[in-house]
Amino acid sequence: MLWRRNRIFMWSFMVLTFDWVTKQIAVETLPYAEPQVVYPWLNWTLVYNSGAAFSFLASHAGWQRWFLSAVALIAIVFFYKWANRLQSTEKWQRFAIALIIGGALGNVIDRLRFAYVVDFIDVHVGAYHWPAFNIADSAICLGIMIILLSLWTSKTPKSS
């Protein structure tokens, strides 16, 4: 049990560290809101998101900072407890939960420190730009996809 918990902490810490380092690099090297072309479909574009995903709630007076932080902290506790209930064979789900926890922590730290989340990855097709995101967002999305895939492909006994 302790080893499983330590692995969750290890992966979460790795995500948190990678997220923090890349955000620091973005803040120190990128001009605000000026796209830096990397590939025809990818820019580095520093933006600050005071809302949730897709800037949801960003235009509100500031209460969303505390609300979104509280929701994220509750989610972190929920996922951590879920991870501790998983069987030793459910390695992918534990890994996915570690990604989600690390990503959520990365964004909560930003939100509590700055009242916004640092985003800088700008993926686009022609003139259509996906909302900017960061490593924490990517880890959360990947973790959710792994959990959904593992739940979808798990073998559940059929009831008679």
Active-site residue, selected from the candidate residues 19, 110, 119, 122 = 119
Distances (CA, A) of 122 to 80, 127, 131, 150: 30, 12, 7, 29
Positive or negative torsion for Cα 54, 50, 126, 143: negative
Nearest Cα to Cα of residue 69 among 104, 118, 17, 21: 104
**AA letter at 1:** M
Active-site residue, selected from the candidate residues 19, 110, 122, 137 = 137
Distances (CA, A) of 14 to 59, 104, 152: 32, 13, 27
137 as an active site residue: the answer is yes
Which residues are tagged catalytic? 119, 137
